[in-house]
Structure 1
Amino acid sequence: MASLTVPPVPKWPRQDAIDLHRAFKGFGCDSTTVISILAHRDAVQRAAIQREYRALFNQDLARRVASELSGHHKRAVLLWILDPPARDATILKQALTGDITDLRAATEVICSRTPAQLEMMRQAYAARFGCPVERDVAERASGDHRRLLLAYLAATPWRGDGPADPAAAALDARDLYLAGERRLGTDERAFVRVFSERGRAQLAAAARAYRHMYGRTLEQAVKGETSGGFGFGLLTILRCADSPARYFAKVLHKAMKGLGTSNSALIWVVTTRAEVDMQHIKAEYHKMYGRSLADAIHSETSGNYRTFLLSLVGRDRAYY
């Protein structure tokens, strides 16, 4: 369930474009107006605003935003105004080809998405950057990690449709046991095959069967038998099969705990989940950590950046 709130009566995108242009004019930027518009429009509305802005002012809205805002606030708004597939493609491109390659971030984006989302992201990646995402992944990742990412990207959009098959889940559990804990060494290809070819419901059923049959969790087996980027990718797929909301609640908690804040993780989770399942993530966050997600974000951020993120997440109480 999304946390994004939009006006009950849709706003005219041309008026939104005009209001944004006025907010940008003059000395400084009226960030309050920018946030009140962009943080309360869905993907279709944001696309319409961008078309109107270009038609009226012969300028790309993203370029104007980049020139008017700064820091984490700018990064968050620039990602938010993209449609979901283009946003995922942009995050992935930055992780794979930025000044510092961030394979962990790339793995998290790929392995936390459904096959349908990945298919749309692959199309957006090729359209925006002129090359298939598989090429960039193959150039940066290696070994079993690369094999897993490429196999997961190749999954058909309709993989895993329908209810889980308990008999097939038991067979998968047996294959994974024989490929890992039952033998000396690990048959990584068996893990790649099962984790990349099964839908979330089927993989979750295999995990339940594994625990029932062998008295240990499949997550424990993955941790014991794999490591590095390969193990991280498998764990991401497995945890998202169990509960995407719980997975992202943990990512957000990790981003904000201890000294300093991982703003990259905070931004990418909030901007990519606000229109998907942020309400569920908020519920899991409160259940797991005993405080609201909004309260945590309020404590770890400031200024317009804080206001923008809280507008997407939704404030659980009034802040002054």
Structure 2
Amino acid sequence: MAFNQELEALTKAFSGHGVDEKSLVTILGKWDPLERESFRKNTPHSFIEDHERHFQRWDDHYVRLLKHEFVRFKNAVVLWTMHPWERDARLVKEALKKGPSAYGVLVEVACTRSSEELLGARKAYHSLFDHSIEEDVASHIHGIERKLLVALVSAYRYEGTKVKDETAKSEAKILSNAIKNVHKKPINEDDEVIRILATRSNKHLRAVYKHYKEIAGKNLDEDLDDLRFKETVQCLCTPQIYFSKVLNAALRIDVDKNTKKSLTRVIVTRADIDIKDIKTEYHNLYGVSLPQNIEEVARGNYKDFLLNLIARG
């Protein structure tokens, strides 16, 4: 392989989700000092030229990004081998540390796990951190989101098949009226809306979702401007669409490291549950298969591990 081809291959090895370890070993391992210098000079996004002292040094910001890419495979393996209760407890703790930009993870855990799974995560949280999820959510979150998020993580929903259609229709009207009157009373202060979303079963809420569209002519999540309420409705009523959108955002090359982490989180947590349905929905939404998109964007062992998890579905 000519040097220019090797340079292109090595640049590609560093430029995705994860790194291409095989290319690093086969190419970097045989380059002499002049070839390595040429690499530094030809990748200005990674190296800064010190013209006064005549050498090229790594860009500190890029090194920090690269560290995250090198550990992406390790983090995926560690997360996959965790007990699901511990995994969810640690995801919640990390989201609370990161702040409002990560609170969607709290919604995801609270609304896409079964009642027993969420209860298990709460037990694991006790064991790991000597606090309850509920008290930490209540004490760490001080904004308008607190009331909804505390209610969601405290839930223990009915999971049977019975749904009272008249009640679902009545609650769809409650939601419709709340959204129409949001200028009078913000949705995040409406106790009835929070009660419906935090206590009703998934089957019941899907019936509410259906009736809402009949009443309003639009899907409930489309009419909600508040991000947390929108995420809550999607996680409860259309989880495969929600996860497809999270994955698609995470697979963009230009996103920040926290958004990229969603790729690992979603595939690891859904591989044994509904990854097949997510793959179908992803293709319906974006016209490309999820494995194909991962093949194009991800690199090395990280890519292979994700594709293996998806294949389980």
Tell me the TM-score normalized by structure 2: 0.70
Preserved contact between residue 210 and residue 218 of structure 1 (Cα < 8 Å): yes
2:171 corresponds to = 172
Task: Give matches, 1:9-24, under 5 Å.
Answer: none
Shift of 1:160: 4.4
Task: Give matches, 1:248-259, under 5 Å.
Answer: 248-257=243-252, 259=254
**Alpha-carbon separation, structure 1, partners of 2:210 and 2:84:** 32
Any unmatched runs of 5+ in structure 1? 1-27, 29-68, 224-230
1:209 corresponds to = 211
Preserved contact between residue 255 and residue 263 of structure 1 (Cα < 8 Å): yes
Shift of 1:258: 5.2
Preserved contact between residue 203 and residue 241 of structure 1 (Cα < 8 Å): yes
Preserved contact between residue 160 and residue 198 of structure 1 (Cα < 8 Å): no
**Alpha-carbon separation, structure 2, partners of 1:208 and 1:98:** 35
Number of matched pairs: 241
Shift of 1:315: 9.0
Alignment CA distance shift 1:298-1:134 (3 Å): same
Alignment CA distance shift 1:252-1:304 (3 Å): same
Q: Deviations over 1:130-172 (max 9, x none)?
A: 211112211222344111111112222x424223221001110
Preserved contact between residue 112 and residue 237 of structure 1 (Cα < 8 Å): no
1:78 corresponds to = 78
* Alignment-mate amino acid for residue 132 of structure 1: S
Preserved contact between residue 107 and residue 233 of structure 1 (Cα < 8 Å): yes
Q: Deviations over 1:11-52 (max 9, x none)?
A: xxxxxxxxxxxxxxxxx9xxxxxxxxxxxxxxxxxxxxxxxx
Q: Of 200, 217, 224, which aligns to 1:198?
A: 200
Q: Of 280, 296, 301, which aligns to 1:304?
A: 301
RMSD: 2.6
2:103 corresponds to = 103
**Alpha-carbon separation, structure 2, partners of 1:242 and 1:296:** 26
Query: Which runs of at least 4 in structure 1 moved beyond 4 Å after TM superposition?
Result: 98-101
Look at both structures and tell me which one has the larger radius of gyration over its CA atoms.
Answer: 2
1:292 correspondence with 2:289: yes
**Alpha-carbon separation, structure 2, partners of 1:100 and 1:179:** 24
Alignment CA distance shift 1:160-1:135 (3 Å): same
Shift of 1:79: 0.6
**Alpha-carbon separation, structure 2, partners of 1:104 and 1:151:** 14
Any unmatched runs of 5+ in structure 2? 1-24, 26-68
Shift of 1:105: 3.0
Alignment CA distance shift 1:123-1:259 (3 Å): same
**Alpha-carbon separation, structure 1, partners of 2:176 and 2:70:** 50
Task: Give matches, 1:1-320, under 5 Å.
Answer: 70-97=70-97, 102-156=102-156, 158-182=157-181, 184-186=183-185, 188-223=190-225, 231-257=226-252, 259-260=254-255, 262-314=259-311
**Alpha-carbon separation, structure 1, partners of 2:267 and 2:300:** 17
Shift of 1:273: 0.5
* Alignment-mate amino acid for residue 135 of structure 2: R
**Alpha-carbon separation, structure 1, partners of 2:154 and 2:105:** 19
1:33 corresponds to = none
* Alignment-mate amino acid for residue 198 of structure 2: S
**Alpha-carbon separation, structure 2, partners of 1:293 and 1:315:** 14
* Alignment-mate amino acid for residue 280 of structure 1: D
**Alpha-carbon separation, structure 2, partners of 1:153 and 1:103:** 12
Alignment CA distance shift 1:315-1:190 (3 Å): closer
Shift of 1:201: 1.2
* Alignment-mate amino acid for residue 136 of structure 2: D
**Aligned to 1:164, what secondary structure does the other structure show?**
coil
Tell me the TM-score normalized by structure 1: 0.68
Preserved contact between residue 107 and residue 235 of structure 2 (Cα < 8 Å): no
**Alpha-carbon separation, structure 1, partners of 2:100 and 2:228:** 19
* Alignment-mate amino acid for residue 215 of structure 1: G
1:60 corresponds to = none
Alignment CA distance shift 1:246-1:177 (3 Å): closer
**Aligned to 1:314, what secondary structure does the other structure show?**
helix
